Amino acid sequence: MRKVEFVAIVAGLMALNAIAIDIMLPALSAIARDTGLTAEGGDQNRQQLIIFAYVLGFGAPQLIWGPITDRFGRRAPLFIGLIGYVLTALLCIMAHSFWALLAARFLQGVFSSGARTVASAVVRDLFAGRSMASFMSLVMTIFMIVPIIAPTIGQIILYVAPWEGIFVVLAVWGALMLGWTWFRLPESLPKEARRSLEIGSVMTAYLQVIRTRVSFGYMLASGLVFGSLFAFIASSEQVFRDVFDQGDTFAYWFAGIAAALAVSNFANSRLVEKVGMRRISHIALLTFMLSSLVLTLATLAWGENLAVFFPLFALGFACFGMMGSNFSALAMEPLGKIAGTASAAYGFATTMISSIIGMIIGSQFNGTTVPLTLGFVILGAASLVVILVTEKGRLFSRH
């Protein structure tokens, strides 16, 4: 397989998760209304549960998928995950209540986490260190097309069909990836490298992840700072519709922020092998904190202003492109012999920590952007403390 196709396949598998979240954003209010949440007199912030139910389902099951992929190889667990993703998308269409929909979304996240675990494990099977960070940045550059266009696709679907049409698109995407990987993605884990599924062997592998200082530290740092990402995704519709009165153009503003993230991912792919993962990601984290702090202070001083909010917010979000791939590569680098388990642990830690934190911050939405941006500052500072401890007080090292 040529590298360009491999990049596209990995991006497509990771996009299963992104599209399942971002395509929903324009429809959250309509889904909450049609499934009875509004009729129940629920807090409007509860519509965010449509996102978080999926994310919570996506998180913990990775701890099960990881050892399974290390035992049975990459292809079989991938196909199970993709088939389940398609079936649960169809199940969401048949949900007749808000809580039934949340249950179906949770299951969809469970199966999507299998595809995500396999995608990361396959990459680690073939790459390590800066080359892995560079490859993953290329993947993320293509992957970021999804957040750019997904809300627009969701809005277009709502123009011509009810919100159930969104889940039809998710089922079709899952089916396309199933066919593509079935015929084109080879097995990357040879039989002689596979591990036992015995509890003792599995626990030993997870203990190795926890005891590896760099791996555990960057997992925790990622989970903290990426809470900001989930908080914004969950409350983005409310920010642009309620705060800035941009309901009709919400998808375009969201796409602009995602485009900044895509550009930074591409820049990282070009720079990381020369500059180093630590230097780039540490500078990006400090920039994220500073831009979020300036935005918070400006809003408190002069009130909400879209002309101030958007460029500073886009700058902060662009920093995720310089942090995500590098944090992941730093965490995975020492754990190549247990790539499936390591990928699962990283995915679990980052998803569960960030989704819970993101849900807490998102639920604080009060008609202003201050709780959101102030949360960004706090999470950035917490992530920086973890990295300082992990690196024994040193930043920007080329090591």
Q: Examine residue 397 and state whether it is found in any structural domain, yes or no.
A: no
For residues 137, 139, 144, 150, the Cα torsion angle rounded to the nearest 10 degrees is: -170
CATH classification of the domain holding 79: 1.20.1250.20
Q: Examine residue 243 and state whether it is found in any structural domain, yes or no.
A: yes
For residue 338, the tally of other CB atoms under 10 A from its CB is: 26
pLDDT at 37: 65
Could you tell me how far CA 68 lies from the centroid of its own chain? 22
Q: Examine residue 395 and state whether it is found in any structural domain, yes or no.
A: no
Q: Examine residue 384 and state whether it is found in any structural domain, yes or no.
A: yes
Q: Examine residue 396 and state whether it is found in any structural domain, yes or no.
A: no
Q: Examine residue 69 and state whether it is found in any structural domain, yes or no.
A: yes
Closest CA to 318 of 374, 256, 361, 379: 256
State how many domains the chain has.
1
- How far, in Å, CA of 85 to CA of 101, rounded? 14
- How far, in Å, CA of 146 to CA of 12, rounded? 9
Name the phi and psi angles at 352, rounded to 5: -65, -45
Q: Examine residue 376 and state whether it is found in any structural domain, yes or no.
A: yes
Output the tens digit of pLDDT for each of the chain's 399 residues: 788 899 899 989 988 988 898 888 788 888 888 877 654 444 566 777 888 889 888 877 888 888 888 889 999 999 999 999 999 999 999 887 888 999 999 999 999 999 988 988 888 788 877 788 788 777 877 766 776 788 888 888 989 989 899 999 999 999 999 999 999 999 988 888 888 778 887 888 888 888 889 999 999 999 899 888 888 877 887 888 888 888 778 778 888 888 888 888 888 888 888 888 899 999 999 999 999 999 999 999 999 999 999 999 999 989 988 898 889 888 888 877 777 778 788 888 777 788 788 888 888 888 889 999 999 999 999 999 999 999 988 887 765
Which residues are CB-contacts of 100 (< 8 A; sequence separation ≥ 6)? Answer: 35
42: containing domain: 3-390
For residues 268, 271, 277, 278, the Cα torsion angle rounded to the nearest 10 degrees is: -110
307 burial via Cβ count (<10 Å: 0-12, 13-18, 19+):
exposed
Half-sphere exposure of 367 (CA within 13 A, CB side): 0
Contact 102, 49 (CB under 8 A): yes
Q: Examine residue 398 and state whether it is found in any structural domain, yes or no.
A: no
Closest CA to 82 of 197, 165, 185, 229: 185
Contact 125, 98 (CB under 8 A): no
